[in-house]
Amino acid sequence: MNIKKDKFGPEYLLEVYDSKNGMRGFLVIDNTTLGPGKGGIRMTPDITLEEIFTLARTMTWKNALAELPFGGAKAGIVFDPKSYSEEEKKEIVQAFSRALKPFAPKQYIAAPDMNLGEREMQWFVEANGNWHAATGKPANLCMKIFGKPGEKCGIPHEFGSTGSGVAEATKVATNHIGMDIAGARIAIEGFGNVGEFAAKYLREMGAKVVATSDIKGTIYDADGLDFPKLLEAKRKGSVTQYKEGKKLLHEEIFELPVDILIPAAIPNVITNDNYKKVEAKIIIEAANIPIPHDIEKKLQERGIVVVPDIIANAGGVISSYAEYRGYNPKDMFRVIKRKISRNTKMILENAERYGINPRKAAIDIAQERVQKAMAVHRNNQKKII
């Protein structure tokens, strides 16, 4: 197992199993100095404990940077939802929830991630018995501490909180290099929950989305894609159903002549094989770990500004915090805009000032905040003793 403990964590590495239905899953609680570990649950047939640990550590930094009262954690269920019925999927999710009851919600708060959404979060909290055990629940499922009969106080993913944060980070990055967001040409790899809403909010800022992609390919139009027609194509099964524009291979989206490139799907899509072909001036990491860290440095050496995932896609966890506190969607968007804008500006300025890449600037800030909290915790423990 390639997981090394350091001064930050991990605090818990769990593997759980249910012999009745074959459920197998992982939970990594990395660091709870700032609060209970917060991180989503992803469901894939090949998820590993090592992958979950990497994501949990990312959540430690992401929550610290967003100045949220959460630590870092992540969970995963080894399961292929495409091969089973909805009832079987529900049974697996709820078995996983019951297995985590000793930790959730006191030390771990779940959220949606790959192949899990608001419906699954409802299943999770029902099996747990505590509304605080997960965020990302349906809007008609109020938390007991805040809700009143008939009131809607959940903040499901349909509001596009992560995508809105990506758009805010993009706007700050363009300002940083003296580019106007209005009219900027943008390519968005992945037109799922994050990419679709990033496109929506960027379009409202005046940007021009000229390309997007999904697993079946890329659609490109230098004059800009029509957003309603793009949504219709997606409803038909793929953005490649879009009638106008040029159809390309999925991987060609990274080489297009655009101002801004937003990888918003899977990890490790810009690598040593293609980073030299990137023409964008700015890359906004909407996906988790879409670029290996050593390649980020090489992109910076080429003069490309890379806003790392721990800043750019933090809108989702900020939204989770808003739901946890009982905020309404309007307040949620206000908090996302304030935190993402301030933090993006801060890390880009620090990176420039100290001659380091933006990821290092971000992690330096996050580590400093966690270390300060850990020192306070140790001092408090000494006082108790």
Q: Which of 94-108, 246-260, 371-385 has the lowest mean pLDDT?
A: 371-385
Per-residue pLDDT tens digits for 280-329: 999 999 998 899 999 999 999 999 999 999 999 999 899 889 888 878 77
Q: The tokens 């890329």 sit on which residue? A: 218
Is beta strand 217-220 parallel, antiparallel or unpaired with respect to 305-307?
Answer: unpaired
Per-residue pLDDT tens digits for 12-69: 999 999 999 999 999 999 999 999 999 999 999 999 999 999 999 999 999 999 999 9
What does the alpha-carbon distance between residue 187 and residue 142 come to, in Å, rounded to a whole number?
A: 37
Per-residue pLDDT tens digits for 171-216: 999 999 999 999 999 999 999 989 999 999 999 999 999 999 999 9
The neighbouring-strand residues paired with 307 are: 284
As a whole number, mean pLDDT of residues 228-238 equals 94
As a whole number, mean pLDDT of residues 242-250 equals 94
pLDDT > 70 in the chain, percent: 93
As a whole number, mean pLDDT of residues 121-146 equals 81
What does the alpha-carbon distance between residue 184 and residue 282 come to, in Å, rounded to a whole number?
A: 11
Contacts within 8 Å (CB) and 24+ apart, 8-12: 8/57, 8/60, 8/367, 8/370, 9/56, 9/57, 9/60, 9/72, 10/53, 10/56, 10/57, 11/37, 12/103, 12/107
What does the alpha-carbon distance between residue 312 and residue 162 come to, in Å, rounded to a whole number?
A: 8
What does the alpha-carbon distance between residue 152 and residue 145 come to, in Å, rounded to a whole number?
A: 13
What does the alpha-carbon distance between residue 52 and residue 72 come to, in Å, rounded to a whole number?
A: 11
Rounded to 10°, the helix 118-128/86-99 angle is: 50
Average pLDDT, the chain: 92
Helices (H), 129-266: 161-176, 193-204, 227-235
Q: Which of 62, 74, 137, 208 is catalytic?
A: 74
Of the candidates 209, 191, 218, 295, the residue with the CA atom closest to the CA atom of residue 259: 209
What band does 145 get if pLDDT is binned at 50, 70 and 90? very low
What does the alpha-carbon distance between residue 137 and residue 159 come to, in Å, rounded to a whole number?
A: 12
Per-residue pLDDT tens digits for 86-104: 999 999 999 999 999 999 9
Which domains, and CATH codes, for the chain?
Answer: 12-59+71-154 (3.40.50.10860), 161-358 (3.40.50.720)
What does the alpha-carbon distance between residue 216 and residue 239 come to, in Å, rounded to a whole number?
A: 8
Q: Is 298 a catalytic residue?
A: no
